[in-house]
Amino acid sequence: QKLLDNIQEASNHQQKLLAVLIDPDKFQPKDAEDFIKYLPVLATHIFVGGSSVEQGKTCEVVKAIKNNSDLPVILFPGDHHQISSHADALLFLSLISGRNPEYLIEQQVRSVEKLRNSDLEIIPTGYILIDGGNETSVQRVSNTSPMSQVEVGKIVHTALAGQYSGKKLIYLEAGSGAKNAVSAEIIKAVKDALDIPLIVGGGIRSDLQLETAWNAGADLVVLGTAFEERSFNQN
Ligand code: 1GP
């Protein structure tokens, strides 16, 4: 429970967290050392995962990162193949905005064989896909519809349904490369309703957007594309 406790603790004290997301498909283990040099100074976690990743690649990438950084590595898997016991923890995701049993429970069942023999910290996470204004790969791969940014009440109810069913974190996801990040209005409404920490990601490309998400109530913000492209604007 160590990493979850740390996130909860940070949330209690309004200390903001930042995860950089590595998609193993776009990352060469030999570049790990260089990668660490470019991490934003505020980064507190490294997430590893992608919508579709070649089998075995996650493990190599996690090992290379662990050899070069002391930041905790948390798996953010697109499917059950992306589980590596070399990471510190796993977001055990359930796509609760969708109605596709494959991502509500099937992938989770398939991951158990690996998980029951590992020391990974397993963090039950309610994953909510929000419309980011363009079709993103999570939408395509999961074959589920994102929730409209207009349906604030329904998004809040979905997040609370996640909390009531025992999720320890809620993740609001606009999708990697989203045109529009999750709005501050949604982040605030969800945060006000929840008792558990809130993760927000998708389409966040600037310092200003990062601050906006934090100020609205996100406890941990995830940065993927902007960091990959080295285009994150740290003023
Ligand atoms: C995707 O939330 C993450 O799962 C990050 O999205 O690549 O748009 O930063 P970006």
pLDDT, tens digit, for every residue of 100-145?
Answer: 999 999 999 999 999 999 999 999 999 999 999 999 999 999 999 9
Q: Read off the pLDDT of residues 60-93 as tens digits, 9 standing for 90 and up.
A: 999 999 999 999 999 999 999 999 999 999 999 9
Q: Where are the domains of the chain?
A: 2-228
Start-end of H helices in 50-168: 57-68, 101, 107-115, 137-142, 152-164
Q: Is the complex ipTM more than 0.95?
A: yes
Look at the block and give the residue holding tokens 């590893």. 48
pTM here? 0.97
Give the Å distance between the CA of 39 and the centre of ligand 1: 15
Question: Which of 17, 21, 137 for mutating ligand 1's site (highest number of atoms within 8 Å of CB)?
Answer: 21
Name the CATH superfamily for 2-228: FMN-linked oxidoreductases (3.20.20.390)
Is 203 annotated to bind a ligand? Reply is: yes
Separation of alpha carbons 22 and 58, rounded Å: 10
Separation of alpha carbons 223 and 205, rounded Å: 7
Say if CB 81 and CB 112 are below 8 A apart: no
> Among the atoms of ligand 1, which is closest to the Cα of residue 132?
8
